[in-house]
């Protein structure tokens, strides 16, 4: 019996006994495990690359600075994982905008993140200015990988590194499609 089945049995036991806080907690744990199991089966436990996030400094062609707001910190007074992911997405969108790539075209197509690999090196606090350096790592006919390096502005210490796997999504057909020539040309500028 694996941990998944054990927790499932515990939740069913507490569901029959009495509702309490432990029941709610175990329900959340079960939900998380179900999502992990579903994600693993859908993705096949495939990672972007089975290696550390190592980037060449010459890779980065775009920079943007953002200040961490009070609403983006967690109870430990550090930048939360969810907020860091949002800031990475904002940096990615600014990068694409600088290349002249729209979020969604008139044909109802747009680049979307299909996989994110993230390594948090150190914690950032509220009101710190952080620098996002973005660059194109690789591009194929169907997708592209962009690399993002996050550092503190005042001392240059590394906060996080990320790799985003982008695919072109057609919202009318509801599926990913091959990258258009104009998008590949814009990314390669």
Tell whether 123 is covered by a domain. yes
What are the pLDDT digits (tens) for 100-152?
A: 999 888 889 999 999 999 998 998 989 999 999 999 999 999 999 999 999 99
Per-residue pLDDT at 74: 86
Tell whether 52 is covered by a domain. no
Name the H helices within the chain.
3-17, 21-43, 81-98, 181-188
Same domain, 11 and 87: no
From 131, 135, 121, select the one nearest 163 (Cα to Cα): 135
What's the Cα-to-Cα distance from 40 to each of 28, 35, 46, 164, rounded to whole Å?
18, 8, 8, 18
- Look at strands 143-152 and 158-170 and give their pairing: antiparallel
158 or 16: which leads in pLDDT: 158
CATH code assigned at 113:
3.10.129.10
Q: Give CA–CA dist 49/135, Å, rounded.
A: 17
Tell whether 143 is covered by a domain. yes
Same domain, 28 and 75: no
Mean pLDDT of the chain: 81
Same domain, 12 and 76: no
Per-residue pLDDT at 101: 93
- Contact at 8 Å (CB) between 118 and 162? yes
Tell whether 50 is covered by a domain. no
Per-residue pLDDT at 143: 93
8 or 126: which leads in pLDDT: 126
Same domain, 70 and 14: no
Tell whether 51 is covered by a domain. no
pTM summary value:
0.71
Q: Give mean pLDDT, residues 81-99.
A: 94
Q: Give CA–CA dist 135/127, Å, rounded.
A: 25
Per-residue pLDDT at 12: 61
Same domain, 33 and 102: no
User: Does the pLDDT value for residue 48 go beyond 50?
Assistant: no
Same domain, 152 and 130: yes
Tell whether 122 is covered by a domain. yes
Tell whether 61 is covered by a domain. yes
User: Does the pLDDT value for residue 169 go beyond 70?
Assistant: yes
Tell whether 113 is covered by a domain. yes
Same domain, 39 and 125: no
Q: Give CA–CA dist 48/55, Å, rounded.
A: 14
C-alpha radius of gyration, the chain, whole number: 20
User: Does the pLDDT value for residue 154 go beyond 50?
Assistant: yes
User: Does the pLDDT value for residue 44 go beyond 50?
Assistant: no
Q: Give CA–CA dist 156/145, Å, rounded.
A: 24
Confidence band for 34, pLDDT divided at 50, 70 and 90: low
Same domain, 136 and 173: yes
Q: Give CA–CA dist 97/135, Å, rounded.
A: 13
Structural domain boundaries enclosing 158 = 57-188
Q: How many domains are contained in the chain?
A: 2
């Amino acid at each position: 019996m694996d941990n998944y089945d054990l927790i499932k049995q515990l939740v069913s036991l507490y569901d029959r006994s009495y509702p309490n806080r432990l029941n709610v907690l175990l329900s959340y744990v079960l939900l998380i495990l179900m999502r992990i199991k579903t994600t693993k089966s859908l993705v096949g436990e495939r990672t972007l690359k089975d290696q550390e996030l190592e980037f060449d400094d010459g890779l980065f062609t775009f920079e943007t600075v953002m200040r961490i707001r009070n609403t983006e910190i967690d109870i430990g007074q550090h930048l939360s994982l969810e907020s860091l992911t949002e800031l990475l997405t904002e940096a990615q969108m600014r990068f694409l905008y600088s290349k002249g790539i729209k979020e969604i075209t008139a044909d109802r197509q747009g680049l979307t993140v299909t996989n994110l690999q993230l390594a948090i090196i150190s914690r950032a606090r509220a009101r710190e200015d952080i620098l996002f350096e973005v660059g194109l790592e690789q591009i194929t006919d169907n997708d592209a990988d962009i690399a993002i390096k996050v550092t503190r502005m005042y001392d240059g210490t590394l906060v996080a590194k990320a790799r985003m796997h982008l695919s072109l999504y057609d919202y009318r057909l509801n599926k990913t499609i091959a990258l258009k020539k104009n998008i590949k040309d814009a990314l390669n500028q």
